[in-house]
C-alpha cells in the first residue's frame, strides 16, 4: 500500500514524463517539453529565491525542460551552501548565470563566474559550492544506451 505522499510523488513524476507539471502552492503548472521554449532566467531565479525551500535548505531548483534524453535545471544556491558530492549518469554542463561557484572535480577546484561553462563527462564525481548567492544552469544529457 502506498501513502498519500508516495501517490502524489508518483503522480508528479508521471506528469513530468508527459512533459508537464501539475503545479504546487509555490509554482504554477508548467510545460516541460515543447518544440520551442524561451525562458527569462533572471525572472526564474527571482521566483526560486522567493520559495520557502530556499530558506529551509539553502538551495532550490526548478526543472525548466524535461525530455527523455535532455533536461535543463535552474538551481539557486545560498552563499556557503553546497551541493554535496554526487555524479550524473550522463554528460552535464554547469553555467553560472548569477554569482560565483566553485566546482570540485577530480582533485581540482574550478572557480566559475557568469559567462563561463563547464562540461563534465558522465559519472564524474563533483560537488558545487556557492561563493556568493548564486544561480546555475545545469544541463543534463541522458546516457546513450547500447
Q: For residue 19, tell me if it sits in a domain.
A: yes
Verify that 15 and 83 share a domain, yes or no: no
The CA distances from residue 136 to 11, 89, 91, 123, in Å, are 28, 19, 16, 20
Verify that 59 and 90 share a domain, yes or no: yes
> Residue holding cell 560565483?
100
For residue 95, give the CATH number of its domain.
2.60.120.10
Measured CA to CA, the distance from residue 48 to residue 35 in angstroms comes to 24
Verify that 4 and 55 share a domain, yes or no: no
What would the pLDDT profile of 107-124 be if each residue is shown by its tens digit? 999 999 999 999 999 999
Put simply, whether the predicted model's pTM sits higher than 0.95 gets the answer: no
Helix (H) or strand (E) holding 65: strand 59-67
- For 19, the domain range is 1-31
Measured CA to CA, the distance from residue 22 to residue 126 in angstroms comes to 32
Instruction: State the pLDDT at residue 31.
Output: 81
Instruction: State the pLDDT at residue 71.
Output: 95
Measured CA to CA, the distance from residue 73 to residue 97 in angstroms comes to 12
Verify that 17 and 38 share a domain, yes or no: no
Q: For residue 110, tell me if it sits in a domain.
A: yes
What residues of the chain score a pLDDT lower than 50? 1-5, 8-9, 11-13, 16
Task: Please count the structural domains in the chain.
Answer: 2
Verify that 17 and 47 share a domain, yes or no: no
Measured CA to CA, the distance from residue 3 to residue 11 in angstroms comes to 12
Q: For residue 146, tell me if it sits in a domain.
A: no
Verify that 119 and 107 share a domain, yes or no: yes
Measured CA to CA, the distance from residue 24 to residue 128 in angstroms comes to 27
Amino acid at each position: 500500500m502506498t501513502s498519500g505522499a508516495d501517490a502524489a510523488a508518483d503522480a508528479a513524476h508521471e506528469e513530468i514524463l508527459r512533459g508537464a507539471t501539475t503545479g504546487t502552492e509555490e509554482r504554477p503548472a508548467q510545460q516541460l517539453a515543447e518544440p520551442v521554449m524561451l525562458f527569462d532566467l533572471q525572472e526564474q531565479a527571482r521566483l526560486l529565491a522567493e520559495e520557502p525551500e530556499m530558506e529551509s535548505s539553502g538551495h532550490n531548483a526548478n526543472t525548466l525542460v524535461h525530455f527523455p534524453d535532455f533536461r535543463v535545471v535552474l538551481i539557486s544556491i545560498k552563499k556557503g551552501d553546497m551541493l554535496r558530492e554526487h555524479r550524473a549518469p550522463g554528460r552535464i554542463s554547469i553555467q553560472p548565470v548569477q554569482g560565483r561557484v566553485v566546482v570540485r572535480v577530480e582533485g581540482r577546484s574550478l572557480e566559475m563566474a557568469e559567462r563561463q561553462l563547464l562540461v563534465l563527462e558522465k559519472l564524474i564525481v563533483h560537488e558545487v559550492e556557492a561563493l556568493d548567492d548564486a544561480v546555475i544552469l545545469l544541463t543534463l544529457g541522458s546516457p546513450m544506451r547500447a
